[in-house]
Chains A and B, each alone.
Chain A
Amino acid sequence: MSSSYDKCVRCGSCVKFCPLFDAVGEEQFSPRGKIYLLQIMDQIEDDPELAKEFRQLLFQCTLCGRCSEVCSSDVDLLKVWHEQRAKAVEMAPEEFDYLDALRNSLANVANIYGLDPEDRAIYWLDELEDDIPGLGDRVYEKGKTADTMVFLGCLMSFRGSQMDVLRSLFTMLEEVGEDYLVMGAEENCCGHPLYLMGDEKGAAELRQHNKSVIEDAQAKKVVTCCPGCLIQLREYHNLEKVEALHHTQFFDQKMASTPIYEQTEELAYHDPCELHRILGIKTEPRSLLKKLGVKYREMEASCCGGGGLLRMTDPGLSDIIIQARAAKEKLKDTVVVTACPSCREQLLASENRTKDIVELLADASKGGAE
């Protein structure tokens, strides 16, 4: 059977959509360029330097999936990139030493920062307990049950820059009277970073624990703000009788209407790639924005540069992508509304202003924007 990249007719429709090509402007960074290299691999694989360069090139990609979306030749490019990444790491693990710290953290403490797993519910609990009374009781312990399990993910559990989103998330869960628990110290990384480097075995080990906790808590739903975590929860955790939802889906279902957001700033909506392109969640974020009565402009459905581990594998390229994006979309006087902790980090790192949709919800419920 021919591999699916053989079906690529190299028409080039993917080239100009690719954020990496946009950033660098050279063919080898484009999806067509990479597929072409695969198609003629027999001519280059004997050269160890070229083979090495190719393995590196595979990780210079945000896995945003735009190439798969525009391809009319039935090439599942995202699948090709995943398979090729796995192959590259397997063939030359020594070239990916720089990923070892991450891999070791995940193996040892089940989070991407190498921090004590007990600390998963420490930072934000300290910060938010006064604002949200009883939040401590919401942290899962064996024997506790709830309708909804909140899966925060590593970024939201450990990063101070996510605190406002967390505050808004918990505020809104209280507001809608949800019976919920947060996984806290019992949460493992969802496995997404390992999945992105093609380590299916490592990812599966992490998921197993999450699955048993969520099912032990008898949750009917698991809600996360992170599209990467949602890919893992929805597609790979094999959860039985548990619906995995993005927080925008959850609140859109729960709230037939919302208070109106008192808008004082110019807003633009950035669709996180993993949310709209890979998970197909497009209507709920917009439905919430509509209910909130906000006026916003749609940003190009293009990547922020933070996906596919690019921040780790080539931070310089990742910066170029977000800077180019910010300039092209004239973000200087705009607050970017989004719904992904990773996009948020990327936007903040390049000094853009950003709000998660749940922050708008919480502001509106509180009676107006600050």
Chain B
Amino acid sequence: MKLRDIAIGANASMYYRMDFKKIRGVYYPKTEADVLAAIAFARENGYDVTPKGGGSGLSGACTGGDIDRIMMSSLQMTEMLAISKDMGYVDVQPGLTPDEINAVLEPMGMKLHVAPSSRDIATVGGILSTDGGGNDTWVNGTMRDNTIKVKMVTYDGRRLTVSHEGVKSDDSELEAELNNKGMTINDIASSHGTLGFITELKLFIRPLVNETLAGSLVEFPDYDALGQAVDEIIKRKSPIRYGETIVTAHPDVREGFNPPLLILQYPEGYDSELSEFVDVKKLDKEELKRMKDVRLKLPKRNPKKGVQFALFEGYGFHEESLRKMQSALDEIDALLQSHDLVPFAKYGHAPSKWYLGDNTAAYGIILHSREIRPEGKTGTELLQILLDIVERCESLGVTPKPEHKWPFDDKTKSARLSELRKIIGQGFNSFILDETCNGVLSSMV
């Protein structure tokens, strides 16, 4: 074993202690041919394949669990293959980040409109596999909405091109079978690397919009008021170009602001309509920049004492749970506190959009949550808390992990993935769909 077989486990989730002996090979392919060769090695030896992008995912899906596996990183697949400004697309390898793509596009006046806070490291292959989004998802949709098609390689070495319309493959039988099942990009979105390795993406790009935006801060007396304001924004289809919320923050990182609050940007002049239902405090350029920075850095900062961690990284408040956020959040906080978890920060995208396991769109607040890492809790205990939260979310009408679509828990999604895997092979990131998944994860905390 070499350090490269171990360092491949580096990832942002709390699941990072693994049995490295089960990593049977680490690959950094540059081309589709390299990918095929690595998969062939895995297949011949009966190993699973775990795709990994930037390792910024928070659900532990890029670790591969504890199956004998090869790890395949996309970090050397970073070519921009084609840019068509006129037709509004870019062809890229999966290991590029939105920041890298936009560094090339922005001087041309174009942009890929997908902006997770982790856009400096999250790869487009990884973002599609979690169907991530960012502070502009409300306007621009999630990753699936920005993906035209993908090329991918399955466990048995067959190649697929999957679009919103369906599947194409050199293998006509496979193509027919998958189209019969209605497979589309919706299935790749949020599949957590269980279907195959994405080797190329065709992504929508659009002109950088040259509009003058105003920025403002809206403070709320309580969570219900915040939820109802966001509900109103959604009903009115308000032209919010940037919408972020800070709901709670530990005093060490609060920096003088007063949550719950919304940081909003919208076309100049829209504040007159906004003022009809909220108290708007205009921010100048510098103030807005500062607020955005405070928000962006919350997931990375630490309290003076202790270390933050993401036990349960996201809650999707929508419809009734959005309008009655206070009681839902109180229940969640009480649950956390009953397990000695000190809330560190809750912040997120508001308004936002995500997809449910059956591919219907939900609109509301995607609330990220960070706690202070408790001393002395075992992995099993932590995972049990997490499962309790999932259960509580379901009873509260809150989507658990809306951005990360926890297939381990989303029954509709996992049933669909299992169905497709029967056709295209079962060798990719299998632990996620295995019933032992929770136990495996708890051993890795």
> What B residues does A209 contact at CB under 8 A?
none
Using C-beta atoms within 8 Å of the partner chain, give the interface range for chain B.
35 or more
Q: Are A12 and B121 in contact (CB under 8 A)?
A: yes
Q: Are B12 and A7 in contact (CB under 8 A)?
A: no
The docked-state distance in angstroms from the alpha carbon of A27 to that of B76 is 11
A363 → chain B closest CB, angstroms = 33
Q: Are A9 and B300 in contact (CB under 8 A)?
A: yes
The docked-state distance in angstroms from the alpha carbon of A9 to that of B17 is 14
Minimum CB distance partner of B298 in chain A? A72
> What B residues does A25 contact at CB under 8 A?
28, 75-76
Does B118 have its Cβ within 8 Å of any Cβ on chain A? Answer: yes
The docked-state distance in angstroms from the alpha carbon of A236 to that of B310 is 40
> What A residues does B10 contact at CB under 8 A?
10, 12, 27, 30, 32-33, 35-36
Q: Are A11 and B121 in contact (CB under 8 A)?
A: yes
- Of the 9-residue stretches A42-50, A107-115, A120-128, A262-270, which lies at the interface with chain B? A42-50
Query: Which one, A2, A26, A35, contacts B28 given CB within 8 A?
Result: A26
Does B8 have its Cβ within 8 Å of any Cβ on chain A? Answer: yes
Does A119 have its Cβ within 8 Å of any Cβ on chain B? Answer: no
Query: Which one, A9, A12, A37, A71, contacts B308 given CB within 8 A?
Result: A9
Query: Which one, B7, B54, B121, B302, contacts A73 given CB within 8 A?
Result: B302
Q: Are A27 and B302 in contact (CB under 8 A)?
A: no
> Which residues 16-62 in A have Cβ within 8 Å of B in the complex?
16, 25-28, 30, 32-37, 39-40, 43-44, 47, 50, 53-54, 57
Q: Are B73 and A27 in contact (CB under 8 A)?
A: yes
Does A283 have its Cβ within 8 Å of any Cβ on chain B? Answer: no
Query: Which one, A11, A33, A47, A71, contacts B12 given CB within 8 A?
Result: A11
The docked-state distance in angstroms from the alpha carbon of A86 to that of B188 is 48
Query: Which one, A16, A26, A34, A72, contacts B4 given CB within 8 A?
Result: A26
Query: Which one, B16, B20, B120, contacts A39 given CB within 8 A?
Result: B16
Q: Are B76 and A12 in contact (CB under 8 A)?
A: no
B10 → chain A closest CB, angstroms = 4
Query: Which one, A50, A71, A72, contacts B6 given CB within 8 A?
Result: A50
Minimum CB distance partner of B53 in chain A? A12
B95 → chain A closest CB, angstroms = 9
Does B215 have its Cβ within 8 Å of any Cβ on chain A? Answer: no
Minimum CB distance partner of A53 in chain B? B3
Q: Are A12 and B55 in contact (CB under 8 A)?
A: yes
The docked-state distance in angstroms from the alpha carbon of A304 to that of B367 is 41
> What B residues does A40 contact at CB under 8 A?
6, 9, 16-17
The docked-state distance in angstroms from the alpha carbon of A54 to that of B1 is 12
Does B97 have its Cβ within 8 Å of any Cβ on chain A? Answer: yes
Q: Are A13 and B300 in contact (CB under 8 A)?
A: yes
Does A118 have its Cβ within 8 Å of any Cβ on chain B? Answer: no
Query: Which one, B26, B300, B307, contacts A6 given CB within 8 A?
Result: B307
Query: Which one, B2, B20, B299, contacts A11 given CB within 8 A?
Result: B299
B123 → chain A closest CB, angstroms = 10
Minimum CB distance partner of B30 in chain A? A25
Does A164 have its Cβ within 8 Å of any Cβ on chain B? Answer: no
**Chain A contact surface mostly:** helix
Does A281 have its Cβ within 8 Å of any Cβ on chain B? Answer: no
Return the CB mask of B140-174 against A: 1 if under 8 Å, else 0.
Answer: 00000000000000000000000000000000000
Does B100 have its Cβ within 8 Å of any Cβ on chain A? Answer: yes
Does B11 have its Cβ within 8 Å of any Cβ on chain A? Answer: yes
Asked whether A36 and B9 contact (CB < 8 A) given A12-B118, A16-B97, the answer is yes
Q: Are A36 and B16 in contact (CB under 8 A)?
A: yes
Q: Are A73 and B301 in contact (CB under 8 A)?
A: yes
The docked-state distance in angstroms from the alpha carbon of A25 to that of B77 is 10
Return the CB mask of B304-324 against A: 1 if under 8 Å, else 0.
Answer: 000111100000000000000
> What B residues does A12 contact at CB under 8 A?
10, 12, 54-56, 118, 120-122
> What A residues does B121 contact at CB under 8 A?
11-13, 15-16
A303 → chain B closest CB, angstroms = 18
> What B residues does A71 contact at CB under 8 A?
300
B405 → chain A closest CB, angstroms = 20
Q: Are A7 and B3 in contact (CB under 8 A)?
A: no
> Which residues 74-100 in B have Cβ within 8 Å of A in the complex?
75-76, 97, 100
Q: Are A10 and B11 in contact (CB under 8 A)?
A: yes
The docked-state distance in angstroms from the alpha carbon of A272 to that of B309 is 35
B112 → chain A closest CB, angstroms = 16
Does B289 have its Cβ within 8 Å of any Cβ on chain A? Answer: no
Does A179 have its Cβ within 8 Å of any Cβ on chain B? Answer: no
The docked-state distance in angstroms from the alpha carbon of A323 to that of B401 is 43
The 6 tightest CB contacts between A and B, nearest first, are A72-B300, A28-B7, A12-B121, A36-B10, A33-B7, A27-B7
Sample of 16 A–B contacts (CB below 8 Å): A9-B310, A10-B10, A11-B12, A12-B10, A12-B121, A16-B120, A25-B28, A25-B75, A26-B4, A26-B7, A36-B10, A39-B16, A40-B17, A44-B20, A73-B300, A74-B301
B-side residues, CB < 8 A to A, are 1-4, 6-12, 16-17, 20, 26, 28, 54-56, 73, 75-76, 97, 100, 118, 120-122, 297, 299-302, 307-310
**Inter-chain pairs besides A12-B56, A26-B28, A53-B2, 9 sampled, C-beta below 8 Å:** A2-B307, A7-B302, A15-B54, A15-B121, A26-B26, A40-B16, A50-B2, A72-B300, A74-B301
